[in-house]
Chains A and B, each alone.
Chain A
């Protein structure tokens, strides 16, 4: 089963002559982990935004878990996003005044589906996820997110993306602020948790040293040029 399906997706930012995205077709299988690379400004973040339905995409160009994202109206799209997707950014993933635990629980706050899928006690699930990602200390996870190291913050972001078992996890250069060792650890932990929850992972990075951990690797400029 395909969790993400892109078909003749063309997207252009307002006021720009050339489309940033023009993807003929791209699929993400259930449980699959894909590494996507591309130079800066090639449209990687834009592609993730299109999949997440944060930017306006034409109808039937993007399907996530069988749903046509472009056909959804505003509010439905936001609900759909939180129901089906977990997102990890490059930096500044967390609301600094919430604790690590509260940050992890944010999707459950906005989505009944994510809440239901995170077990009878979402808090316990969040704690378990955090400890699996290496944040075992209860004092640590109750600290405001602003008092965490960058590496710890990224792991909290991963936990948040994973809680409530979304279909797809989108990660936008989550490791660029981490050192070599932390990078590998983070990617391995993320992959392990995605496998455990059955989520497919689209991981964007320009760091090719991480490519080896993934099932498959895609080059965005080539994808944009029509070569799969």
Chain B
């Protein structure tokens, strides 16, 4: 029976091949879309993997994640350095990275942070940031740039760059007087990091404060930030104090040695200086957000509770993965549309098969009459058609999966580089197997229609051979 079926199909190999191809396409598409969707979702949810909590001034979770992880928009108010230290000292917290933002370099967001950022940030499913060249910034005038920034402007380690104030696309407020030197370039990640410029907290503050002072000599600022304190006509005395403190903090991160006197001093400075700079996003000594890692993941709730109880400042501790999934759900309409489309193509593939099987039936009446004359039962002929469908479906599915794997191998590097997606050639997941089974079953179900027609035909035709 199998042999007969196989040879009969071989006889119609051109049309059978086309059918197999259309089924393969359906399978590849439907599985591909599914794989891409889950990968995109997982990749997206992992855009901030490694970070257990993002702490910012009370605000919308999604907005906070958008600002801190993707560099889109800003967080609301700042967080005082005080709060940063309070959080850092919480026993449940294993590490913290401060984040300052709101500036841009030629349209690319500038992030003020500590060196630890590069150790703790994870993207695309847990990958660490890798330096394509150079090293993290060591001094206030050092900058690390994302791959896209490097590519866009041809920057490499050692290039001097100038930041502009404000996060608009057009930089009208160029700080020629506060250049940075690129110390490192990050490897392509396919995430927002590619579009970011990272500088130290002092660098960020210096950059930020400079326009008010209108100092012509950049070296004054870069080589000795505390010198800025000399400009007493502005608020720089107050401003530079916390800078110094932050610097100290960065350099002795493990020590946790913050003299209480120092702290008080910083606080005093901040309270006096904070109001004077109401027009700016950042006040010296305030940061926008904190990336934090926990000693134990289960401590999330207790940290969140503690922060909610924090009286000095209204803080929010965002679980980035939860917020990201929330954000992802916004795209679910597009996702659904994509899946519907893949489903429609699969349906078209199935219909194509049924059309092929049905169209061939009239030409094959003779074949069935001959088979019946030599003892094939109508049920046998019925199952012959079903067997044919099974063969076509099977071949189509195998070809589709192979084609998809080949395609994946081919475009994986491209996807990884451009979108941070890594589909990978693995065995199909349970869901994918389920989808394939669905294609198979619906194809088989659909082929019952022509098989039934044949069944009735063989009964009514009798022995007469028709053309």
For residue B462, which residues in chain A have a CB less than 8 angstroms away from its CB? 45-46, 49, 54-55
Is A172 a contact of B463 with CB atoms below 8 Å?
A: yes
Q: Does A107 contact B (CB under 8 A)?
A: yes
Q: Does B136 contact A (CB under 8 A)?
A: no
For residue B467, which residues in chain A have a CB less than 8 angstroms away from its CB? 92
Q: Which residue of A lies closest to B366 (CB)?
A: A92
For residue A111, which residues in chain B have a CB less than 8 angstroms away from its CB? 375
Is A87 a contact of B463 with CB atoms below 8 Å?
A: yes
Q: Which residue of B lies closest to A163 (CB)?
A: B374
Chain B interfacial residues counted at CB < 8 A: 25
Q: Does A220 contact B (CB under 8 A)?
A: no
Is B370 a contact of A82 with CB atoms below 8 Å?
A: no
Q: Name the contact of A45 in the complex, choosing from B370, B374, B380, B464 (C-beta under 8 A).
A: B464
Q: Which residue of A lies closest to B380 (CB)?
A: A78
The residues in B between 2 and 26 inclusive whose CB is less than 8 angstroms from any CB of A are 4, 7-8, 10-11
Binds B, one of A2-10, A32-40, A93-101, A187-195: A93-101
For residue A78, which residues in chain B have a CB less than 8 angstroms away from its CB? 372, 375-378, 380
- A172–B377 Cα distance when bound, in Å, is 21
Q: Does A91 contact B (CB under 8 A)?
A: yes
Is B11 a contact of A92 with CB atoms below 8 Å?
A: no
Q: Does A208 contact B (CB under 8 A)?
A: no
Q: Does A210 contact B (CB under 8 A)?
A: no
- Given A48-B463, A49-B464, the answer on whether A89 and B373 have CB atoms closer than 8 Å is yes
Is A75 a contact of B375 with CB atoms below 8 Å?
A: no
Q: Which residue of B lies closest to A114 (CB)?
A: B375
Q: Does B465 contact A (CB under 8 A)?
A: yes
Q: Is the interface of B mostly helix, strand, loop or mixed?
A: helix
The residues in A between 13 and 60 inclusive whose CB is less than 8 angstroms from any CB of B are 14, 45-46, 48-49, 52, 54-55
Is A54 a contact of B10 with CB atoms below 8 Å?
A: no
For residue A213, which residues in chain B have a CB less than 8 angstroms away from its CB? none
- A96–B7 Cα distance when bound, in Å, is 10
- A93–B372 Cα distance when bound, in Å, is 12
Q: Does B130 contact A (CB under 8 A)?
A: no
Q: Does A81 contact B (CB under 8 A)?
A: yes
Q: Does B379 contact A (CB under 8 A)?
A: yes
For residue B367, which residues in chain A have a CB less than 8 angstroms away from its CB? 95
Q: Which interface residue of B7, B374, B377 has the most chain A CB atoms within 10 A?
A: B374
- Given A75-B377, A79-B375, the answer on whether A93 and B464 have CB atoms closer than 8 Å is no
- A90–B366 Cα distance when bound, in Å, is 12
Q: Which residue of A lies closest to B370 (CB)?
A: A95
Q: Does A160 contact B (CB under 8 A)?
A: yes
Is B372 a contact of A54 with CB atoms below 8 Å?
A: yes
Q: Which interface residue of A52, A83, A95, A109 has the most chain B CB atoms within 10 A?
A: A95
- Given A45-B464, A48-B463, A54-B463, the answer on whether A94 and B378 have CB atoms closer than 8 Å is no
For residue B378, which residues in chain A have a CB less than 8 angstroms away from its CB? 74, 78
Q: Which residue of A lies closest to B375 (CB)?
A: A82
- Given A78-B376, A82-B375, the answer on whether A49 and B465 have CB atoms closer than 8 Å is no
- A219–B408 Cα distance when bound, in Å, is 72
Smallest distance from the beta carbon of A53 to chain B beta carbons, Å?
Answer: 10
Q: Which interface residue of B369, B377, B378 has the most chain A CB atoms within 10 A?
A: B377
Smallest distance from the beta carbon of B1 to chain A beta carbons, Å?
Answer: 9
The residues in B between 352 and 370 inclusive whose CB is less than 8 angstroms from any CB of A are 366-367, 369-370
Is A110 a contact of B376 with CB atoms below 8 Å?
A: yes
For residue B7, which residues in chain A have a CB less than 8 angstroms away from its CB? 95, 97-98
Q: Which residue of B lies closest to A105 (CB)?
A: B374
- A74–B372 Cα distance when bound, in Å, is 12
1/0 per residue, CB under 8 A from A, across B442-467: the answer is 00000000000000000010111101
- A90–B370 Cα distance when bound, in Å, is 12
Is A97 a contact of B10 with CB atoms below 8 Å?
A: yes
- A83–B375 Cα distance when bound, in Å, is 8
Q: Does A106 contact B (CB under 8 A)?
A: yes
- A45–B11 Cα distance when bound, in Å, is 29
Is A93 a contact of B375 with CB atoms below 8 Å?
A: no
- A48–B464 Cα distance when bound, in Å, is 9
Smallest distance from the beta carbon of A156 to chain B beta carbons, Å?
Answer: 12
- A98–B8 Cα distance when bound, in Å, is 8
Q: Which residue of B lies closest to A48 (CB)?
A: B463
- A89–B464 Cα distance when bound, in Å, is 8
- A175–B82 Cα distance when bound, in Å, is 107
- Given A81-B375, A82-B374, the answer on whether A96 and B463 have CB atoms closer than 8 Å is no
- A45–B462 Cα distance when bound, in Å, is 9
Smallest distance from the beta carbon of A93 to chain B beta carbons, Å?
Answer: 7
- A103–B10 Cα distance when bound, in Å, is 16
- A111–B380 Cα distance when bound, in Å, is 13
Is A160 a contact of B374 with CB atoms below 8 Å?
A: yes
Smallest distance from the beta carbon of A126 to chain B beta carbons, Å?
Answer: 13
For residue A97, which residues in chain B have a CB less than 8 angstroms away from its CB? 7-8, 10-11
Smallest distance from the beta carbon of B120 to chain A beta carbons, Å?
Answer: 67
For residue B10, which residues in chain A have a CB less than 8 angstroms away from its CB? 97
The residues in B between 368 and 405 inclusive whose CB is less than 8 angstroms from any CB of A are 369-380
For residue A172, which residues in chain B have a CB less than 8 angstroms away from its CB? 463
Q: Which residue of B lies closest to A78 (CB)?
A: B377
Q: Name the contact of A89 in the complex, choosing from B371, B375, B465 (C-beta under 8 A).
A: B465
- A60–B203 Cα distance when bound, in Å, is 107
Smallest distance from the beta carbon of A2 to chain B beta carbons, Å?
Answer: 22
Q: Which residue of B lies closest to A170 (CB)?
A: B463
Q: Name the contact of B373 in the complex, choosing from A74, A87, A91 (C-beta under 8 A).
A: A87
- A78–B7 Cα distance when bound, in Å, is 23
6 residue pairs bridging A and B, Cβ less than 8 Å apart: A45-B464, A78-B375, A79-B377, A97-B7, A97-B8, A98-B7
List residues of chain A with CB under 8 Å of any chain B CB. 14, 45-46, 48-49, 52, 54-55, 74-75, 78-79, 81-83, 87, 89-98, 106-107, 109-111, 160, 172
16 further interface pairs, Cβ-Cβ under 8 Å (given A74-B377, A78-B380, A97-B11): A45-B462, A52-B463, A74-B378, A75-B377, A78-B376, A78-B378, A82-B374, A83-B375, A87-B373, A89-B465, A95-B4, A95-B371, A98-B7, A109-B4, A109-B374, A110-B376
9 A-B pairs with the lowest CB-CB distances in the bound complex, closest first? A82-B375, A110-B375, A97-B11, A49-B462, A78-B377, A87-B373, A106-B374, A49-B463, A54-B462
